[in-house]
Structure 1
Amino acid sequence: MGATFRGRAYAFQHRAAGLCSRSLGAVEDSSRRSVQIPIGVEIATAWAWRLLIIAAAGLLGIWFLRYFSEITVPVAIAVLGTALTINAVDWLEDHGIPRLAATFMVVLFMLLAFFGMLALVGQQLSTQVSDLKANVVEGITQVQDWAKDGPLDLSDAQLQSWIDDAKASISSSDTSLLTRIGEVGTTLTHIVAGFFIALFSAFFFLYEGDRIWSWVVALFPQAARERVHTSGQTAWRSLTAFVRATVIVALTDALGIAFAAWALGVPLTLAIGVLVFLGAFVPIVGALVSGMVAVLVALVAQGPWTALFMLLAVVAVQQFESHVLQPFLMGKIVAVHPLAIIIAIASGVVVAGVVGALIAVPLAACLNGVVRHLAVTAREFQSDPEELPPELGHA
């Protein structure tokens, strides 16, 4: 009897405690609702801290790349060279040549092509630069005559005063000769070191790039490796398509502008072609800026009318590139909006100068391909999760 009474008393106490806890919970919920944060603020806060973390990670990555630029820039150039020539190594291997020998042959061809272009430019400069200097001196004399006899009506004393001021401003630099020599020596050292880093990196990328990529993928967690591997393959396809299309576009720009310069009698035709070819690797602005060099040479050597026709030729070549070559060759594989290209080039210039502008657009093309690939993968997983590997849905 006593046990039954105690049991009932315990049950009553339990129910009372439950009622009290529910009452307190209701009071807490009511007070929480009375001070509830608006949903827009919650969403904005959730986005804000995530964006801050992403921005911090991006700034840390940019700092890392700039701090080790003597290594990262040559390696990036080696990756671009590998994307351009990897098919040649594979083709030679498929035809019975050992991969090591095939890699040596392709790297040797790359070196011969590079130094051949430099030798071509040097030969043109050595044979025609004296005539160009004479034209520059004659042009300066004509400008001086126009300043004296034209609407400015300047006197010889005023012209000489301006010339003396320019000379004084140039010679009054605080930088000593030894400091300049030291800076030049340091720059040359970095260039030589970067050249050999790029050379050896390209060799090993061509020879055993698959093994290197497998090692990189193995650094990621097991659940994410499949997605990292497929994203890397997508980025590589985008990069190879971009580099090969860019080479064709650059060659077309160089041939078109060089032919126009030759037809107009502009000196340094081959040197201009090489400069345009190298500049065209920076899309949209590279070939245009290097083409302006041809316009300036035409202005100095042949006068304003020849420079005008040279400018029209450069613009025509650029229009053909933008409206025919780029859409046809690039296609949807590396489709990047022109605004994104301009922003990428500007960001590359800010981060790493000319080299940054060279690397920025291929990087944007790779990121664009990876984002599109991951978006398609996510949609496929949502539509039919069983068709994808388990790690793709749980990474």
Structure 2
Amino acid sequence: MNWQIIELPNGTLAVREDPANTFSLASLCHFGARNNPKRGFLFVSTVLGKHLPAQPSKMLDIHQHLAAKIHAVADAPTLFIGMAETGIGFSYGVYEAWAKNHADREAIFIHSTRYPLHNLPVLDFEESHCHAPNQTLHLPAEPAHLEQMRRAKTLVLLDDEVSTGKTFLNLWRALRPECPLIEQINIVTLTDFMGTVARDALDQALDAPTAHISAARAEWRFTPKAWSPVQGIPPQPYHNPKLKSLAHLGRAGVDRPLALPKRLLDEVEQRLAIHSRDMPLRIIGTGEFMHVPYLLALHLENQGRQVSLQSSTRSPILEFGPIQHIQHLDDPYGQGDPYFIYNARPNSQQITLILHETALNPAISRFAHALGAQTLSCAQHWPKPTKRPASSRGSGS
């Protein structure tokens, strides 16, 4: 297949798609430009529910398709690790799709984070090309989960895309002493841009039997050109280091699919009751908090509502191509980092609901005001996890 040439504001991107792909690249992503001198391009997905609005049921289709291809040793736990930030929702979704089809098997899911929790041991590694290169992976909080992790024979590494594999390799090198029994690795991504040479080199460096699973494969070449990062006018940074995220929703390890609490569903139904069922819904997550908004959006779509899903992000992207509008935001976690949401203009013809895992704070309030949205704090509508005996499967809700 011929190379597709995309002229970006900061360089020239060439992409060649694998003709054997199950899904076409065009059905999964567009090409965008990063506001980041480390890497000038971005594959902007249409099925992640992150930078662009996505339909939840189409996201589920992708999760199930990829989960069905995962190879796991049958007589031991399987360890799933998702990558922050963009890949968290995708990773959680693939894990749950696999776990629901293997309810009799032990499986642990953890996602990396840029917001470390207190009093938990961590593994630090680097995503070198990223705007925020430092990543943290917590060891599971529950002793039973930690024990399952150390007995795992299959490792599943998940992210929205892979282009060099260096981040996965960095993680594996940090993780390997904690998981001495791993016999095989699955690398699961929405899009795989490594190419055969890089893929073979990664397999050799990982030094373990490795399966590469993706919805589409392609290769890329990028030629940068003279360019200066765009300096926007961000809002005043919001600092509140006392804000707490919901550790038990993935950062500290879960061992079962998540179930939305009845109190949260009741609250949403009560708010929607005053609107026509035909009015479109826009569900928005915040930062690393993506999976609960996805589950809610999928639940509402299954009720027959018209629903789209997306999330705010730390990823700086230029207004170009698929990105037609940029809204600068405060950090919902109170750490003062710049945040953005793309293509999410205020729209009085739809209901917009922002879900956040922290308590309501000025950053979230200003976000909601900018979009004419309602807010819902899942910290207030989520039961605290209960301790379970070490012999039982731990809490995932």
Q: Between Structure 1 and Structure 2, which shows a larger proportion of strand residues? A: 2
Q: Between Structure 1 and Structure 2, which shows a larger proportion of helix residues? A: 1
Report the TM-score, using the length of structure 2 for normalisation. 0.19
Task: Indicate the structure (1 or 2) with the bigger Cα radius of gyration.
Answer: 1
